[in-house]
Structure 1
Amino acid sequence: MNRYLRYALIVIALVTVLLFGLIIYFAIILDPNSYKPLLAELVKEKNQRELRLDGDITLSLFPRLGIELGPITLSERNSNVEFASAERILVSLALLPLLRKQLELDEILIKGLKANLIRLKDGSINIADLIAKSEETRQFKLNVGRVATEKARVTFSDEESGRHFAFTDVNVEADRLGARPGLSASAVRSKVKIGFTVGHSEATEVDLGTTLAFDLTLDVDKQYYAVQGVSLESKGQLPGISQFMLNCTGDFVASVPSESVTAEFMASDVAINLTGIRGLSNLDIKLYMPRLSLANEKLGGDKISVAAEMSGHEGKLNVNARVSLSALEASVSGLRSGALLVELEAVKNDWTIHTMLESPFSSNPTTWQLNLPEVKGVMHARGPGLANPGIDGALRGSVAIDVESRNAQADFTGQFADTNIKAKLMASAAVEPSLIFDVNIDQLDLDRFLPPAQPPGENLEKKGNAYAFEQWLDLSALDNLSLEGSIRIGLLKTANSRSSGLSLAIRSN
Structure 2
Amino acid sequence: MKKFLYILLGLVLVVIIGIAALLALVDPNQFKPLIAEQVKKNTGRELVINGDIGWRFFPSIGFTLGETEFRNPQGFAEPNLVRFSNAELSVSVMPLFSQQLDIGNVSLNDARVFIQTRKDGVSNLDGIGAQASAATSADENTAEQQPQSNTPESAPSEPETTPSQESPAAGWTISLAGVELVNASAVIRDDKTGAMTDVEQLNFSLTRFAPGEWTTAAFDVRGKNGELNFSAKGDTELMIAPTLDGAELKALTLDAQAADKVNKIESVTLTMDQFRVGDWSALTFSAKGEIPDLAFDAKGETRLKLSTDFNLASVEGLSLNSDVKGNALPRPEMKIGLTADATYDVAKGLATLSAFTTQVDEIALDGNASFKAAEIPVIRFDVHSDNIDLDAFLGLDKAAKAEVKKEGDSTGTAGTGTDGSGASSANTAQVDKNKEPDLSALKVLDVAGKVAIDKFKAGNAKVSSVMTELVVNKGVLNLKRFDAKLYDGTINVKATIDANGKLPRYSVTKHIKGVQVKPLLTDVAQFENLAGTGNIDINLSGTGLAEARMRENIAGTVKINFADGAIYGVNVAEMIREARATLKGKKAEYVKEERKTDFSSLTSTMKLGKGVLSTNDLHLASPLLRIDGEGSTNLVSEAVDFTIMTSVVESSQGQGGKDIDELKDLTVPIDVNGSWSEPKFALNLKELLKRNSNKELERKAEREVERGLKKLLGDKADDDQVKDAANKLLKGLFN
Name the TM tier (shorter chain).
Answer: 0.5 to 0.7
Other-structure match for 1:144: 176
SS at match of 2:21: helix
Deviations 1:60-116 (A, max 9, x none): 356644111224455544589542432320111224455777542111001111222
Against the structure 1 CA distance between its residues 480 and 276, is the aligned structure 2 distance closer, same or farther, given a 3 Å change threshold? farther
Other-structure match for 1:162: 194
Other-structure match for 2:558: none
Contact 2:236 2:253 in 1 (8 A): yes
Distance (Å, rounded) in 2 between the aligned partners of 1:26 and 1:70:
20
Against the structure 1 CA distance between its residues 239 and 265, is the aligned structure 2 distance closer, same or farther, given a 3 Å change threshold? farther
Other-structure match for 1:412: 452
User: What is the number of equivalent residue pairs in this alignment?
Assistant: 414
Contact 1:53 1:72 in 2 (8 A): yes
Larger RCO: Structure 1 or Structure 2 (Cα < 8 Å, ≥ 6 residues apart)? 1
Is 1:486 aligned to residue 509 of structure 2?
A: yes
Other-structure match for 1:344: 360
How far off its partner does 1:208 sit?
Answer: 0.2
Contact 2:366 2:385 in 1 (8 A): yes
Distance (Å, rounded) in 2 between the aligned partners of 1:100 and 1:318:
71
Other-structure match for 2:339: 324
Which residue of 387, 393, 401 corresponds with 1:378?
Answer: 387
Which residue of 492, 498, 502 corresponds with 2:536?
Answer: 502
Q: Which runs of 5+ in 2 are unaligned?
A: 1-12, 140-169, 403-443, 489-501, 544-735
Q: How does 1:80-95 map to 2 (within 5 A)?
A: 81-83=78-80, 84-95=82-93
Q: How does 1:348-359 map to 2 (within 5 A)?
A: 354-359=362-367
Other-structure match for 2:249: 227
Query: How large is the RMSD of aligned CA atoms in angstroms?
Result: 4.9
SS at match of 1:384: helix
Is 1:249 aligned to residue 280 of structure 2?
A: no
Contact 2:326 2:333 in 1 (8 A): yes
Query: Which amino acid is 1:358 matched to?
Result: D
Distance (Å, rounded) in 1 between the aligned partners of 2:339 and 2:265:
27
SS at match of 2:279: strand
Contact 1:68 1:90 in 2 (8 A): yes
Other-structure match for 2:287: 274
SS at match of 1:248: strand
Against the structure 1 CA distance between its residues 189 and 379, is the aligned structure 2 distance closer, same or farther, given a 3 Å change threshold? same
SS at match of 2:123: coil
Distance (Å, rounded) in 2 between the aligned partners of 1:223 and 1:112:
28
Normalized against structure 1, the TM-score is what? 0.65
Deviations 1:300-358 (A, max 9, x none): 765101223320279964333211115x799999998773211113xxxxxxxx31112
Contact 2:181 2:204 in 1 (8 A): yes
Q: How does 1:13-412 map to 2 (within 5 A)?
A: 24-28=20-24, 51=48, 53=50, 56-61=52-57, 64-73=60-69, 76-77=72-73, 81-83=78-80, 84-97=82-95, 103-128=101-126, 131-132=129-130, 134=132, 135=135, 142-176=174-208, 187-200=212-225, 203=226, 205-220=227-242, 225-238=247-260, 240-255=262-277, 264-268=278-282, 270-289=283-302, 291-293=303-305, 302-312=316-326, 317-325=332-340, 339-345=355-361, 354-359=362-367, 361=368, 370=380, 372=382, 375-380=384-389, 381-382=391-392, 383-385=397-399, 406-410=446-450, 412=452
Hey, which of these two has a bigger chunk of helix by percent? 2
How far off its partner does 1:421 sit?
Answer: 4.2
Other-structure match for 1:432: 475
Query: Which amino acid is 2:538 matched to?
Result: L
Query: Which amino acid is 2:233 matched to?
Result: T
Distance (Å, rounded) in 1 between the aligned partners of 2:400 and 2:510:
22
Q: Which runs of 5+ in 1 are unaligned?
A: 1-16, 178-184, 256-263, 346-353, 389-403, 446-478
Normalized against structure 2, the TM-score is what? 0.47
Contact 1:36 1:53 in 2 (8 A): no
Identify which range, 30-39 or 423-432, moves more after superposition: 30-39
How far off its partner does 1:223 sit?
Answer: 8.2
Contact 1:435 1:484 in 2 (8 A): no
Identity percentage of aligned residues: 14
Contact 1:153 1:169 in 2 (8 A): yes
Other-structure match for 2:624: none
How far off its partner does 1:197 sit?
Answer: 1.0
